[in-house]
Structure 1
Amino acid sequence: MWRLPTVLLTLALTGTGCSLISTGGDDAASPSTTNGASDTVVLVTHESFNLPKRLVRRFEDRSGLDLEVRAAGDAGQLTTKLAVTRDNPIGDVAFGVDNTFASRALEEDVFDPLEVTLPEGVEEYVVPADDGERLAPVDVGHVCVNVDSTWFAERDLDPPATLDDLADPAYEGLFVTPSALSSSPGLAFLLTTVAAYGEDWPDYWEDLLANDTLVVDGWSDAYYGDFTQGGEGGERPIVLSYDSSPAFTVPEGSDTSSTAALLDTCFRQVEYAGVLAGAANPDGGRQLVEFLLTPEVQAALPGSMYVFPVRDDVELPADWAAHAEQPDNPYVVDPDEIAANRDTWLQEWRDLVTR
């Protein structure tokens, strides 16, 4: 039986109440200025942002600016924080609003025009209603069901391959997924089922839950706690994770991953960067967005944030090229449809899971 903490439910359904974690807090002094121009650029982002220090130094050396990074929760919390502080922005640039929340940010007029030229290949990932005018795609990843290939091979059992398979009694009690209310990949999986089954998605979830699917708070709980390849004695060989995950489960001395992503179950997630309306240093913000799109930063994304670059001229690390296969036809839901229905879908999902 799974119980959702009240605080997480309130946050997910209302989109309010998130806290900002920063180097100086919301009440930190404004960036210092020289002759009226700020010598600092403030990046507001999610807590998983991890740009290598050498690249931070490179940006600072090239721009002559100091980079200050302030964390503001996950993609949903970040978007809420930006909307609430729209009239008094908490930074110059935001990175980490994804395609599940982009429409809300655009509707709230959180971002200014970018005036940044997008590199080749990036146009594929722009928000349709924006065309890259305010939000620049920076990285792409896919939330996919993953399986413990070794576990299935040892039992001479074929692993599942499709969403339908997850509800098959042959896989009863084997699947663990993070919550759609408290986890970004969990929400992505809910949207996967919406895209795959349309109005019948609640019926699919009833079948999943009847097949003893386990729902836990977050991705780390699912992957490291309950997944058999997570390293902590988990007992479930099917988990919701990412298309990149198999690149990190290659045993030493082997050229084969012990896990596999089911590429017919994937939902595309794109993360964006934009200059905040009313930013103290909009010019510095645009320089930072341009820097995030440079080949050197794009090439560092797999190793630093476990996502794929959006530029098509960046070579992937060897392990990624061999084991992190991207889906050809991932599930997608139009951002406007997500914005219009997210709260309703989450409430329906909650009612199903907590029966």
Structure 2
Amino acid sequence: MKRRTFLRTVGAGGVAGLAGCAGGSGGGGSTSTTESATTQTQTGTTTGMAGGTPELVVATYGAFVDAPSTSPGPWIKETFESEFDATLTFATPDSEINYFIERALQGVEIDADAYVGLNVDMLIRIDDRLDDGLFADVGDVDGRGEVKDGLNFDPQGRIVPYDTSYVSLVYNETMSDDGTFTAPETFDGLLDSEYEGDLLAQNPTGSSTGKSFLLHTIKAKGPDGYLDYWQELQNNDVRVLSDWSSSYTAYSNEEAPMVVSYSTDQVYANREDQDLAKHQIRFLNDQGYAYPEGMSVFRNADNPDLAEQFLEFMLRPEVQGEIAQRNVAFPATTTAELPDDFAEYAQAPPEAVTFTYDALRDNVSEWTQAWERQFASN
């Protein structure tokens, strides 16, 4: 079956059936709205071959297209199609990148041109399972030189970052007798008895936010000290829930005054006219853990030139600004055009920290498994 026909005819059940052995979500999201897998298979115009108009199929995670709050996908589709003689179709298989890994392992044709929403965990998974990977070397696409230092996470240059989030604490000033609750300034401060039971976090084995926080503790305490640190957090009654949504719901219900979340929290709170005293940001040790997202072109894409044009489009200053606002994340480039109110409420850390691809590929499974064994035993 031609891949374009496949994308227009297969339903959500068909995609799930082909990808059923992939194992769960790929974890594509960077913000509070993107950590759960979508049930939608594709969004947008799906008849792009009519009249000879080329069709660009861009795979992504569901919330990039249809988040409960706001999504960049529909605006990107409309804007791209208004300029390029092409139809843009978003494909959102339930198992995200795992769907394409399984197709490659089965020797089945990849049914998309580009992927938006890649992170370092996905890249490690791809490289561990596929000798030839999934993506082409996209080279020096226009705008790539404007990407901020430290956001490039692919040592082979296949992935181009298009946005980033920073994991931080969010705290509620009103949750004290005098309405002046303040989060600690350091990781060590979280261990003080005055903060007993005050922190909500996420399980790093199933949550991108939780994994980022775990990795930040490893940065702060070292591979030989982070488990001792987490033992002390447990002694101070940290509450670890399954994912971001569960923990943030508990935080919103004032079950605790602090939650591990994102430093763009005030952007969404301000947009929804919420009390900003309940959405204060704290960068522990004056640092935020960077969680960039990237995009690339599939090897053997039907429309590789058009796919590279799409990547260049995504890096334009005005498009970077729109993605940041609609995805509630920071742009990847230094030239993004952002309104003043976004810059006012989106807080960047004094220092961004992260681990390299090589360090994560060599160690992240061991680190998370050790954390899981210790946490489960207590």
Distance 1:257 1:192 in 2: 25
Distance 1:52 1:245 in 2: 21
Find the counterpart in structure 1 of residue 8 from structure 2: none
C-alpha displacement at 1:252, in angstroms? 8.3
Find the counterpart in structure 2 of residue 185 from structure 1: 209
Find the counterpart in structure 2 of residue 17 from structure 1: 23
Are 1:129 and 2:150 matched, yes or no? no
Are 1:298 and 2:324 matched, yes or no? no
Find the counterpart in structure 1 of residue 265 from structure 2: 245
Distance 2:341 2:121 in 1: 29
Where do residues 266-277 of structure 1 align in structure 2 (5 Å cutoff)? 266-277=288-299
Find the counterpart in structure 2 of residue 61 from structure 1: 82
The partner residue of 2:58 within 31, 34, 43 is 43
Compared CA separation, residues 300 and 81, structure 1 to 2 (3 A) = same
C-alpha displacement at 1:103, in angstroms? 4.1
C-alpha displacement at 1:120, in angstroms? 4.8
Compared CA separation, residues 219 and 317, structure 1 to 2 (3 A) = farther
C-alpha displacement at 1:153, in angstroms? 7.7
What secondary structure does 2:204 align onto?
Answer: coil
Distance 2:195 2:113 in 1: 48
Distance 1:272 1:113 in 2: 13
Distance 2:317 2:101 in 1: 31
Distance 2:42 2:273 in 1: 45
Distance 2:309 2:101 in 1: 23
Residue by residue over 1:221-256, the C-alpha shift from the partner in whole angstroms, topping out at 9 and shown as x without a partner, is 111x211xx2xx232010011010023334988996
Distance 2:240 2:275 in 1: 32
Q: Which letter does structure 2 place at the counterpart of 1:137?
A: P
Find the counterpart in structure 1 of residue 175 from structure 2: 151
Find the counterpart in structure 1 of residue 120 from structure 2: 99
Distance 1:322 1:32 in 2: 44
Compared CA separation, residues 290 and 90, structure 1 to 2 (3 A) = same
Residue by residue over 1:162-184, the C-alpha shift from the partner in whole angstroms, topping out at 9 and shown as x without a partner, is 22222221101110012112211
What secondary structure does 2:161 align onto?
Answer: strand
Q: State whether residues 166 and 208 of structure 1, in contact with CA within 8 Å, keep that contact through their aligned partners in structure 2.
A: yes
What secondary structure does 2:348 align onto?
Answer: coil
The partner residue of 2:98 within 66, 76, 80 is 80
C-alpha displacement at 1:148, in angstroms? 1.0
- The number of residue pairs the alignment matches comes to 326
- Larger relative contact order, structure 1 or 2 (CA cutoff 8 Å, min sep 6): 1
Compared CA separation, residues 182 and 43, structure 1 to 2 (3 A) = same
Compared CA separation, residues 157 and 18, structure 1 to 2 (3 A) = closer
What secondary structure does 1:266 align onto?
Answer: strand
Q: State whether residues 246 and 324 of structure 1, in contact with CA within 8 Å, keep that contact through their aligned partners in structure 2.
A: yes
Where do residues 336-347 of structure 1 align in structure 2 (5 Å cutoff)? 336-347=358-369
C-alpha displacement at 1:85, in angstroms? 2.7
Q: Which letter does structure 2 place at the counterpart of 1:262?
A: R
Are 1:324 and 2:349 matched, yes or no? no
Find the counterpart in structure 1 of residue 190 from structure 2: 166
Where do residues 206-285 of structure 1 align in structure 2 (5 Å cutoff)? 206-223=231-248, 225-227=249-251, 230=252, 233-250=253-270, 257-263=277-283, 264-285=286-307
RMSD of Structure 2 on Structure 1 (CA):
2.9
C-alpha displacement at 1:41, in angstroms? 1.1
Find the counterpart in structure 2 of residue 333 from structure 1: 355
Q: State whether residues 42 and 67 of structure 1, in contact with CA within 8 Å, keep that contact through their aligned partners in structure 2.
A: yes
Q: Which letter does structure 2 place at the counterpart of 1:248?
A: Y
What secondary structure does 1:150 align onto?
Answer: coil
Q: Which letter does structure 2 place at the counterpart of 1:243?
A: S
Compared CA separation, residues 252 and 32, structure 1 to 2 (3 A) = closer
User: Unaligned stretches of 5+ in structure 1?
Assistant: 1-14
C-alpha displacement at 1:322, in angstroms? 1.7
Compared CA separation, residues 90 and 183, structure 1 to 2 (3 A) = farther
Q: TM-score, normalised by structure 2?
A: 0.77
Compared CA separation, residues 33 and 280, structure 1 to 2 (3 A) = farther
